[in-house]
Structure 1
Amino acid sequence: MSSAWVGDLVRLRGVEPEDWEDFQRFDQNTTDMRRMDRIHPPRSAAGQREWAQKTALKDQNDDKLMLAIESLADGALAGMLTTALADQRAGRFMYGIAIGDDHKGRGYASDALRLLLSFMFAERRFHKCEASVWAFNEPSLAFHRKFGFQEEGRLRDHEFFAGRHHDVVLFGMTAPEFAARYPFPTEI
């Protein structure tokens, strides 16, 4: 059996209630939290368990996804992948990804993103994926460029945290650009 959700290195799956400890550990790394979003106040173990339980039971639609990234090598939770702001009329959506420290630099983000974009472009008929990256997040900027995203602009002094305003770099990739780099599966 083949699965559109299994790549060479990772499997995308729904969040499970027992994932709460991994997500709590991810949330304790404030450097990573700031790179992907912002620092949130600490959540109690009970609060984290409740979040994981609610997330696991939440109905996902095809355009707004919250997926766990699981390592095929050890079965560990490696990170999370989300979609947002899906606009069917215009054919675009945004995505976000976070990989935990223990799994960075292993190709998990690329493998997970390839699976997601294959689904969103080849199954959901979206035309463009967009991403926004803090201008100081050099690893994420390099990742998006290497993956094939095109830099489309910069929002100056757009977000405030860590005591000052920061620029946001906007990236985009169209379905034809993706398919030229990562051909869609041929078996049906």
Structure 2
Amino acid sequence: MPGPVFLEGDEVTLRPAEEEDVEFVQRCMNDPRVWRPALDPNPMNREQGSEFFENVLSGDDGVKCLVCDGEKPLGLVSLTGTKYGPDATDRSRSVELSYYLAPEHHSQGYGSDAAARMVEYAFEDLNLRRVGARLGSFNDASRGLLESLGFEHEGTLREAAWFRGEYHDVLWYGLLREDWRADG
């Protein structure tokens, strides 16, 4: 049985991952259509999936949510990289947005909706001032998603990623709270 809904989008809901979601996460992380663009070439067995759940998805470094359509998991979206709240120590008040969807759910608007909800949450609920994201220069879909949300290209790490037998640039994108506009 899935966990409670944390955030609601127009097309998706976001909820904390549960132990029963490890198989879904493992399946996604072993699919080359996910790990290649994510630049994470290591396979994930059941034990590693459980460790990922315990150490990353259940950790306290940021907010990680399963992207769902009803009860069906579609992918993951997260904000990481800063501490916030009463004991916050990071004065930059910024996070990094990351996301992936299972390949059968690509190009259906789910990723855009999930990312938009997390950006809104970062600015309105966490009172952060900056959201960043990075991607391989070959990842046109992710670039389009970020630009559709108002992110701007801020920099390039030349030939910093190895993808499918070639070096590629890593692109850094960012969105400042003052440049963000809520859609509704």
TM-score tier by shorter-chain length is: 0.7 to 0.9
1:69 matched to 2:67? The reply is yes
Q: Is contact 1:17–1:52 with CA below 8 Å preserved after alignment?
A: no
Does the 8 A contact of 2:120 with 2:182 survive in 1? no
Percent identity for Structure 1 against Structure 2: 22
What are the equivalent positions in structure 2 for 1:1-188 lying under 5 Å apart? 5-41=7-43, 43-48=44-49, 50-51=50-51, 54=54, 58-60=58-60, 64-72=62-70, 75-86=71-82, 88-178=90-180, 180-183=181-184
The CA distance in 2 between the partners of 1:52 and 1:159, in whole Å, is 23
Aligned to 1:186: none
Structure 1 stretches of 4+ with a deviation exceeding 4 A read none
Contact 2:39–2:161 (Cα < 8 Å) also in 1: no
Provide the C-alpha distance between the structure 1 equivalents of 2:21 and 2:6, rounded to a whole number of angstroms: 22
For residues 84 and 172 of structure 1, what CA distance do their matches in structure 2 show? Answer: 14
Q: What amino acid is aligned across from residue 130 of structure 1 in structure 2?
A: G
The count of aligned residue pairs is 174
**What is the TM-score with the length of structure 2 in the denominator?**
0.83
In the superposition, relative to structure 1, how do residues 118 and 137 fare at CA in structure 2: closer, same or farther (>3 Å)?
Answer: same
Q: Using the alignment, how far apart are the partners of 1:133 and 1:125 within structure 2?
A: 25
Unpaired segments of 5 or more residues in structure 2? Answer: 84-89
**CA–CA distance in 2 between the matches of 1:84 and 1:114?**
15
> Amino acid of the residue matched to residue 46 of structure 2?
A
8 Å contact from structure 1 (residues 135, 166) kept in 2: yes
Structure 1: runs of 5+ lacking an equivalent:
184-188
SS in 2 for 1:79: strand
Distance 1:44 1:158, change over 3 A: closer
Q: Distance in 1 between matches of 2:52 and 2:138?
A: 30
Structure 1 letter corresponding to 2:183? Y
Match of 2:86 in 1: none
